[in-house]
Amino acid sequence: MTDSTSQCTELGGATPGVDLSSPIALEAGAVSGQTYVRLKADILSFGFAPGVPLQEADLASRYGGSRTPTREALRRLVQEGLIVRRGRNYVVRVFTPPEVRDLYEVREGIEKMATRLAIERASNEELAGLDRHIAAQEAHAAKGDAAGFNLLDTRFHLALAHMTRNRFLLEQMALLHDQVMLVRKLELSRQQGMFNAISDHRRIVGAMKRGDIAVAEAEMRYHVRSVVALYHGIKEPPPGGGDAAREPQAAPEAGSAGERLRGDY
Q: What is the mean pLDDT of each run of 10 residues along the chain (265 residues)?
A: 39 37 38 84 92 94 89 94 92 95 97 98 97 97 93 96 97 95 87 92 98 98 94 51 38 44 38
Confidence (pTM): 0.77
For 120, residues 6+ apart whose C-beta sits below 8 A from its C-beta are 213
Q: Between β-strands 83-86 and 53-54, what pairing exists: parallel, antiparallel or unpaired?
A: unpaired
Residue type, 143: K
Q: Is 28 left (phi over 0), alpha (psi -120 to 50) or beta?
A: beta
Q: In what order do the strands lie in the sheet with 89-92?
A: 53-54, 89-92, 83-86
Write down the pLDDT at residue 19. 42
Write down the pLDDT at residue 176. 95
Enumerate the β-bridge partners of residue 84: 91
Residue type, 76: R
Write down the pLDDT at residue 187. 85
Set out the domains of the chain in order of their start, with CATH numbers: 4-92 (1.10.10.10), 97-261 (1.20.120.530)
Q: Count CB atoms within 10 A of the CB of residue 217.
A: 24
Q: Which residues of 126-145 are buried (b: 16+ CB within 10 A; e: fewer)?
A: ebeebeebbebbbebbeeeb
- Long-range contact list for 129-132, CB < 8 A, 24+ apart? 129/159, 130/156, 130/159, 130/160, 130/201, 130/205, 130/208, 131/205
Half-sphere exposure of 30 (CA within 13 A, CB side): 13
Residues 20/55, Cβ–Cβ less than 8 Å:
no
